[in-house]
Structure 1
Amino acid sequence: MPCMISPEQISACIAFHGHECPGLAIGIRAAELALRELGPAGPDLVAVCETDMCGVDAIMMLTNCTVGKGNLVFRDLGKMAFTFHRRGGPGFRAVLRPQSRRGMDEHMVPLMRKDIDGRATDAERQELLDLRKQMQRSFMAMELEDMFDITKLESLPPRPPSILESLVCDTCGERVMESRTRRFQGRTLCIPCFEAVEQKR
């Protein structure tokens, strides 16, 4: 079934992100899946994103999950995977299926490398643009179950954020959340100051 997110909401996602692309389409469809399975956006909806790619912007826009509210959790795992929960209840994890890309990466990736390196010809840049648009359209028209491997989860979502004391770094004098401090030779340090003196890195 084609994407059920309204054109107005899709336009808002594009404006927020700054451009349209296949990655944004993945996030739009992941958010659509979350809203379909768990109901409308609200403060008790939690998203865990295992990537920092474009689609996270669409997830923020459509689910109202944000880092600042503590209901969007970023885990730097480099996976096109998204977990959604209602606080206090079960949820699901959706992983982009490799076959959903329809083999287009075989042509796109070399072209992207050439474009980034400045070696792509005008014809190759146009081919890359056409492939990206084709992939984007494909994602927006695909059945969600064909696009994602979906696993129901019985585990609870991440805990809500805690209000913690701020401590002063003994080196730079800046205040830092207690849970992000390190102890070194009897001193309280922020992470950058700790990394500057710790030898086992």
Structure 2
Amino acid sequence: MQNFQELFEIGLKFHGHKCPAMPMGLKAGLAAMKVLGVERSKHKELYVKAETGKGHAAGCFLDGVMTATGCTYGKSNIQKLYYNKMAFTLIDTKTGKAVRVSLKPDFFEKALASPFVQKRKAGVLPQDIDPEITDPLVNRIIGLKESEFLDIGKVHTVDFKKGKGLFEIKRCEKCGEVTFVNKLRVSPEGKTVCMSCSGYQD
């Protein structure tokens, strides 16, 4: 497994800016992996059910979790539940063993009162915040013990069903674009069409 510093550098490049929340997620992901005794996912050995949402503070947490675990949207081994909570469940898909990890409420409440977050509230972009504000906060997160900021649940077993990969494609008879067959629809005119051309709206 890559060491923490290597993963931290990967996380910074992937995430795009330096902030406290990404390393929170990185350390949380590594903590969950340690509890389950698993290595970083190369294919779909692990699965994350993330409880973070959209547009709330510290959503950067999830990029840290993804960096640590190797669970990505491209590999389809992460699911976002949109609960707007700073928590996730990591599942070992081979054994069904799982563990839920969340930020301690007191810790997160204090984190949201930090100078970094106050700047964000004022509309300052994270990459434009003075390193004199950002760096000490990030370094503090890196130096924390898991027990100081994480609530780690008990290992439990879930009924995890692995899906089969889909390889069959067809061209949409309206726009001509290649589409995997499970998302094709039959139009009122009897043509096989993609979701976009079918007029379907989620």
- Provide closer, same or farther for how the CA distance between residues 131 and 181 of structure 1 changes in structure 2, counting only shifts above 3 A: farther
Following TM superposition, by how much is the alpha carbon of 1:91 offset from its aligned partner in structure 2, in angstroms?
0.7
> Over the residues paired in the alignment, what is the CA RMSD in angstroms?
3.3
Matching residue of 2:112: 105
Q: Please state how far the C-alpha of 1:95 moved relative to its aligned partner.
A: 2.3
CA contact (8 A) 1:100 1:139 kept: no
1:30 maps to amino acid? A
| TM-score, normalised via structure 2 length | 0.70
Q: Which runs of 5+ in 2 are unaligned?
A: none
TM-score by structure 1 length?
0.70
Provide closer, same or farther for how the CA distance between residues 62 and 130 of structure 1 changes in structure 2, counting only shifts above 3 A.
Answer: same
Show the counterpart of 2:50: 49
- Asked if 1:79 corresponds to 2:77, the answer is no
Deviations, residues 62-89 of structure 1 (Å, cap 9, x unaligned): 333333334x313251432222121132
Q: How many residues align?
A: 185
Given the superposition, is the C-alpha separation of residues 6 and 163 from structure 1 closer, same or farther in structure 2, using an over 3 Å criterion?
same
Contact 1:93 1:153 in 2 (8 A): no
The verdict on how the C-alpha distance between 1:191 and 1:9 changes in structure 2, with shifts beyond 3 A counting, is same
Residue matched to 2:149: 147
Q: CA deviation at 1:141?
A: 3.0
- Is residue 164–residue 179 contact of structure 1 (8 Å, CA) maintained in 2? no
Q: Unmatched 5+ residue regions in structure 1?
A: none
Q: Distance in 2 between matches of 1:112 and 1:154?
A: 39
Contact 2:32 2:152 (C-alpha < 8 Å) held by counterparts: no
> Partners of 2:163 and 2:147 in 1: how far apart?
30
Write out aligned runs for 1:1-201 (5 A): 6-39=4-37, 40-42=39-41, 43=43, 44-51=45-52, 53-70=59-76, 72-77=77-82, 78-87=84-93, 88-106=95-113, 109-116=117-124, 126=130, 132-151=134-153, 152-157=155-160, 159-185=162-188, 186-194=190-198, 197-198=199-200
| 1:103 aligned counterpart, secondary structure | helix
Q: Secondary structure at the match of 1:67?
A: coil
